[in-house]
């Protein structure tokens, strides 16, 4: 079992939709949870950073951590074509495979 599992997608949604991206992890000791966004042919950039459990909101983005289920989520509200990218979760220093998201106008 991989330490961090992420569905690679691809995921395609219409503009304005709510997007839910998820990762599961195996090591319950992890405390730091990150989401990175990676545009095509670019390096990843940090989007959200959460320590321990709970929710964190930043504009249209919400990161959620459920430590009891070892499950993290990233929600994107009112999705825009500019949100089209690959989203990678990082738990501790382990990265998921990334989910490719396309938001269609």
Partner 1 sequence: NAGVTQTPKFRVLKTGQSMTLLCAQDMNHEYMYWYRQDPGMGLRLIHYSVGEGTTAKGEVPDGYNVSRLKKQNFLLGLESAAPSQTSVYFCASSFRVGTRNPSYEQYFGPGTRLTVT
Please report, as ranges, the residues that interact with partner 1 according to CB under 8 A.
4, 6, 8, 32, 34, 36, 41-46, 49, 88, 90, 92-93, 95-98
Mention every residue, 6+ apart, whose C-beta is less than 8 A from residue 78.
16, 18, 60
- Return the number of the residue (17 or 97) whose C-beta is nearest partner 1: 97
- Return the number of the residue (17 or 61) whose C-beta is nearest partner 1: 61
Residue 43 tokens, joined: 């390096």
Q: CB of 95: closest distance to partner 1 in angstroms?
A: 4
Q: How far apart are CA 32 and CA 30, in angstroms?
A: 6
């Amino acid at each position: 079992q991989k330490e961090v599992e992420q569905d690679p997608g691809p995921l395609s949604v219409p503009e304005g939709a709510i997007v839910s991206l998820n990762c599961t992890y195996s090591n319950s000791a992890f405390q730091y949870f990150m989401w990175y966004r990676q545009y095509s042919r670019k390096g990843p950039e940090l989007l959200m950073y959460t320590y321990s459990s709970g929710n964190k909101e930043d504009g249209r983005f919400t990161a959620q951590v459920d430590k009891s289920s070892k499950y993290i989520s990233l929600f994107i509200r009112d999705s825009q074509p500019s949100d089209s990218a690959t989203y990678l979760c990082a738990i501790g220093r382990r990265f998921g495979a990334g989910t490719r998201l396309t938001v269609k106008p």
